[in-house]
Structure 1
Amino acid sequence: MSMLCAAGAALGAAAGGSWVANAPGVPVPVSERAVRSAELLPPPGAAVEGRRVASVHWQYALPPAVRAHAWLCLAERCVALPGARGTSTAFAGAAADSGFHFRFAAAPGAPQGVRASRMQVIVNYQ
């Protein structure tokens, strides 16, 4: 019986999970300078200490037909995003309790007053 309990505890420790965070919208500057979103952190009470990122799903929204450069970042390590939603394993192995943020910069010819909105990450961890 104690062997079964020990095996169950080991499996529970290895089990993965996920956390979700959202950030408020940000204006996308027309200049060469990128803007940074609010930090996206695990919710309070999430049991992520000692866990490692497996993958990150992201999404954000821009007005139709507006082009912008977008990155998802962990500290100063950023990955260029190919579209408004997707999945990346580029942060695999990072601490699952780390905060992410988005960065945006307008593409040449973009109109002024554009906002990025509905920013969300889903962080899967082991």
Structure 2
Amino acid sequence: MTLSPTAIALLGLIAWGLLLALLILNQRGLLVLSGKMAVNAFAPDGSNLPGFGQRLARAHANCLENLPLQVGVLLYALQAGQTALTDPLALTLLSARLFQTVMHLLSTAPLFVWLRFAGFLVQVAILIWWLLRLSGLA
């Protein structure tokens, strides 16, 4: 069975969010098991963790915030048999999401924030284009 780029992007976006959740689980598990933090001491937003922990929690939350929009459009295209419209940019959408997250994890320096924004902008532009194409407006 060969997956279309649209299906790959859909599964990739879900897998990426799951991978980030596993990284959080690993990081927090190590802190608890080493006795550095109590199991009930973690702030939901990661604000009481060192730099990378905060960035990881925020990057994961950002992925989940945008996932419904991305998954909704990709699922619609798959269900409606319209993947010819989404396939050409599906892997670009996934790549932009991965890029945005990696920039988020690396640093909060201005350059990385701009790069992160660029990755997000690519995703938004692709989603708008797809919505226009799928609705017949473009």
Between Structure 1 and Structure 2, the one with more strand by share is: 1
Q: After TM superposition, is the score higher than 0.5?
A: no
Between Structure 1 and Structure 2, the one with more helix by share is: 2
User: Whose relative contact order is higher, 1 or 2, with alpha carbons under 8 Å and at least 6 apart?
Assistant: 1
TM-score when scaled to structure 2? 0.25
TM-score when scaled to structure 1? 0.27
